[in-house]
Amino acid sequence: MNTAGLEKVWRDRPADWLQPAREKGMADFLDTGFPDRRSEAWKYTDAEPLADRSQAYLKTTPVALDSAQLPTESGDSLPILFVNGRLAPGQMLPAAPGLQVASLNEAPSERQAQILSRLASFPGRPREDLSALNAAFISDGLWIELAPDTVLEKPIEILFSSDGAQAAAQPRIIVSVGADSQCKLIEHYSGSGAGLVNAVTDIHCDHDARLEWLKLQLESTDSLHVALQNLSLGRNSRARLVQIELGSQLSRNDLQANLAAPGAHVDVYGLFLADGQAHMDSRLEIQHQAPNTTSQESYRGIAAGQGRGIFNGKIIVQPGADGTDAKLSNRNLLLSSTAEIDTKPELEIYADDVKCAHGATTGQLDETALFYLRSRGVDAAQARAMLVRAFAADIVTQIPLERLRQQVETELSARLARDMETDTP
């Protein structure tokens, strides 16, 4: 794929303090270009629409409109609004004891070395993800640091909104959760129009930290969404991750979780809905790098209409990571004869004395349950939607905030009602 155009666009940009990270990103990106299907990681997903839109949109630096409606603190979260990948003008950053938040575009000079060092050591994989391109073209982002022994009650809710402009948002979020600290982080993507998001979020948890991390992707059906979530867990730290992917015509999410020290634990709950023409590609890679680390992954996929879903979950147990206990389960539901789901759970084990289990199923709605509901007077479309919502409920109920749980339920209900009317199995 031709990357010369992008290179010129990149060279013409004015330099800023992020330049060292941008240079490394651009060099890594030019090494490999956009991924193609020869790469196992892109076997089912064609990156060409991402390449086309990147080349078209990255020519202009995205602008966050002044007219953006700033979120008011709704009481249940600390909201931060980004529009088209840039911090909304006038957006105040949350302040709390032990909490430091800075925007990347206006990072205080004393923070810059620290941020550049995190960017330099970011474990991206140019052949598999678009994190190098993100580094080259970072549109804005956040540095969030929680000091040791800090408990942040309210979640930080980062709202990534697209306003319909042909913008390439390339946000980068860098989070450090200090030892014995607790916090909740929400990435909430939504918007209108045919935008492009290439997001990278990198979270480090120090020893004994607690993290709840929700990613909610409700982008418009014309948008393209690529995200890389990187999580590194220190000794005895615990994280619970919920991923809800409902939007975009092409969505690709990579999660890399590294259980880097003994006693670290992660729970991952995920759900995607690929309906209409949507293409949802979800990847998890859970690295057990240290002894006595534990993980549990539960991922559900739903495909309707001409939707296409891909799940690829890999658990890797590194040499020496004895006492690892990992369970990966993936269940999928096909709602039409034209929908498709490909699933590939994998285990790579290089240690003895480990407990690992993985399983994947793909099926259709239970006809007996469907008949039972209809025999009670629930019409066929509504009965089908009820059963699909029930299938999703195990994941949706994991959403840590009532308001967002309701929002997801409402969105799912509306979408399924539409899907059930157009799909006759």
Partner 1 sequence: MLKVDELRVSVGGKAILQGLSLEIRPGEIHAMMGPNGSGKSTLAHVLAGRAGYEVTGGSVTYQGHDLLAMEPEERAWAGLFLGFQYPVEIPGVNNVYLLKAALNAGRKHRGEPEMDSISFLKLVREKAALMQIDDSFLSRGVNEGFSGGEKKRNEILQMTLLEPKLAVLDETDSGLDIDALKVVANGVNSMRSADRSFLLITHYQRLLDYIQPDYVHVLAEGRIVRTGDKQLATQLEADGYDGILAEAASL
Residue 96 vs 380, nearer CB to partner 1: 380
Pick from 169, 174, 135, 136: which is nearest to 156 by CA?
A: 174
Footprint of partner 1 on 354-373 (CB under 8 A): 366-369, 371-373
Interface segment toward partner 1; rule CB under 8 A; list 40-48, 214-222, 387-395, 405-413 = 387-395
Which x/- pattern, by CB under 8 A, does the window 393-412 give for partner 1? Answer: xx------------------
Give residue for tokens 């690295």: 287
Which x/- pattern, by CB under 8 A, does the window 266-285 give for partner 1? Answer: --------------------
Residue 88 vs 334, nearer CB to partner 1: 334
Choice from 378, 405, 411, 418 touching partner 1 (CB under 8 A): 378
Buried-exposed string 346-379: b where 16+ CB fall within 10 A, e elsewhere: eeebebeebebebebebeebeeeebeebeeeeee
Give how far Cα 85 sits from Cα of 56, 165, 195, 403, 417, Å: 16, 11, 10, 24, 32
Interface segment toward partner 1; rule CB under 8 A; list 242-250, 337-345, 380-388, 409-417 = 380-388
Which x/- pattern, by CB under 8 A, does the window 113-132 give for partner 1? Answer: --------------------
d(CA 100, CA 174): 12
106 binds partner 1 (CB under 8 A): no
Phi first, then psi, for residue 130 (nearest 5°) are -105, 25
Choice from 38, 377, 402, 424 touching partner 1 (CB under 8 A): 377
379 binds partner 1 (CB under 8 A): yes
For residue 156 the two structure tokens come to 């930080």
| Strand order across the 78-83 sheet | 86-87, 78-83, 156-163, 182-192, 210-218, 238-245, 265-274, 294-303, 325-334, 355-363
Residue 224 vs 408, nearer CB to partner 1: 408
Choice from 276, 380, 405, 411 touching partner 1 (CB under 8 A): 380
Pairing verdict, β 78-83 and 156-163: parallel
Give how far Cα 251 sits from Cα of 50, 53, 119, 211, 277, Å: 10, 14, 24, 25, 12
Residue 350 vs 371, nearer CB to partner 1: 371
Residue 190 vs 398, nearer CB to partner 1: 398
Residues near partner 1, by CB under 8 A: 366-369, 371-380, 382-383, 386-387, 389-391, 393-394
